[in-house]
Amino acid sequence: MNVKLSFIIPFYGNANKELLNRCIKSIKNQGIKDSDYEIIIANDNGRGLGGARNIGLSQAIGKYIIFIDADDYIFQDSLLKCLALIEIHEPDILSFGLRKVIINQSKLTLEKRFSYSTYLSGAEYMSSHNFTGSACRHIFRKEFISSFRFAENRYHEDEDFVAKAYCFAQKTIITDYPVYAYCCQQQSITSTQTKETQTKRINDFHAMLMRIDHLLKTEELISQISQNALTRRLNFLTIDYIRQLRRNKLSIMEIRTKIKELVNDGLLPLPDKSYSWKYSITCKIINTLIYL
């Protein structure tokens, strides 16, 4: 059986089955031959989203992998163009467009123009671009990521998984063509989460930064460009972490404590790099916080 594509859908026992059915239907409506794909519904078994994805990854037999959350879906007739590129180029990673869909709002108008760029390596792309670190906006070659695993029972488990993948990937294709519909409520997550959840999200974000830092210090990276790309990614994620502290309305004392942790971890001060003018300004502002 020559399965080309494995869709891995994490699913919890108390999750909304109607949304799961919508997700599955969106896959079946892509015009892909039934024999060319499989759908794996992976129960987390108490191991969280990352654990469910790991279970699905170990079961998948497709040449390529797509992760999709059960409450999201694939836009109609959007995947075939990406799959055609995969047939021609056989990349380690193909990244496609993700669009946020606000529940109960008017229907999105999607751009239908299809364009893409190819890179000799994932590190080449990551060394000069920022991107959403969601596993769900990528198609991964199974053989390439077969030894990779997500952190389990953690938030932000995508970020270091995707960063590592880009670090080691060879041929990489990037398109912003909209494929993935990320569904969310109009009310922001920070306004609805409990203090306990807020604390875990922040702590898990910090743990993710440390996993990337550990990767930088312990792995024999394939090239200097991989080292530079991963360092750049870590610097921008450190900025995102500090922004999250403010978004979650931590007190000044709590933010100072977290800043000191970053200094002790070696993640601050941020290096004075010419990534972009926005980075340069943000770098100066954040580095002054160390001395307040």
Taking only the tens place, the pLDDT of each residue in 158-168 is: 999 999 999 99
If asked whether residues 175 and 218 sit together in one domain, one would say no
Mean pLDDT over residues 99-116, rounded? Answer: 82
Domain final residue, candidates 159, 184, 209 = 184
Among the residue ranges 21-30, 91-100, 101-110, 112-121, the one predicted with the least confidence is 101-110
Domain final residue, candidates 169, 184, 199 = 184
Question: What is the percent of the chain with per-residue pLDDT over 70, rounded to a whole number?
Answer: 95
Please report the pLDDT score of residue 190 as a whole number: 46
pLDDT over threshold 70, residue 260: yes
Separation of CA 226 from chain center: 18
Q: Judging by beta carbons within 10 Å of its beta carbon (0-12, 13-18, 19+), is residue 34 exposed, middle or buried?
A: exposed
Of residues 194 and 122, the one with the higher pLDDT is 122
Which residues contact residue 121 at a Cβ distance below 8 angstroms, ignoring those fewer than 6 apart? 169, 170, 171, 172, 223, 225, 226
If asked whether residues 210 and 147 sit together in one domain, one would say no
If asked whether residues 137 and 250 sit together in one domain, one would say no
Number of domains in the chain: 2
Q: How confident is the model at residue 209 (pLDDT cuts 50, 70, 90)?
A: very high
If asked whether residues 208 and 244 sit together in one domain, one would say yes
The DSSP letter of residue 233 is H
If asked whether residues 110 and 71 sit together in one domain, one would say yes
If asked whether residues 174 and 272 sit together in one domain, one would say no
If asked whether residues 165 and 197 sit together in one domain, one would say no
Please report the pLDDT score of residue 186 as a whole number: 62
Q: Cα(14)–Cα(266) distance, rounded to whole angstroms?
A: 41
pLDDT over threshold 90, residue 142: yes
If asked whether residues 177 and 194 sit together in one domain, one would say no
Reported pTM: 0.94
If asked whether residues 256 and 201 sit together in one domain, one would say yes
If asked whether residues 48 and 123 sit together in one domain, one would say yes
If asked whether residues 12 and 137 sit together in one domain, one would say yes
Among the residue ranges 55-59, 112-116, 215-219, 269-273, the one predicted with the least confidence is 215-219
If asked whether residues 143 and 75 sit together in one domain, one would say yes
Match 């004075």 to its residue by tokens: 272
Q: Cα(168)–Cα(170) distance, rounded to whole angstroms?
A: 7
Please report the pLDDT score of residue 14 as a whole number: 73
Q: Which residues of 128-145 are buried (b: 16+ CB within 10 A; e: fewer)?
A: eeebebbbbbbbbbbebb
- Please write the tens of the pLDDT for every residue from 233-253: 999 999 999 999 999 889 999
Q: Quick one: the chain helix, strand, coil %, rounded to 5?
A: 50, 15, 35
- Please write the tens of the pLDDT for every residue from 266-284: 999 999 999 999 999 999 9
CATH number of the domain within which 166 lies:
3.90.550.10
Domain final residue, candidates 133, 165, 184 = 184
Please report the pLDDT score of residue 104 as a whole number: 72
Q: How confident is the model at residue 188 (pLDDT cuts 50, 70, 90)?
A: very low
Bridge partners, 118 (sequence order):
173
Which residue range(s) make up the domain with 51?
Answer: 5-184
- Please write the tens of the pLDDT for every residue from 25-66: 999 999 999 999 999 999 988 899 999 999 999 999 999 999
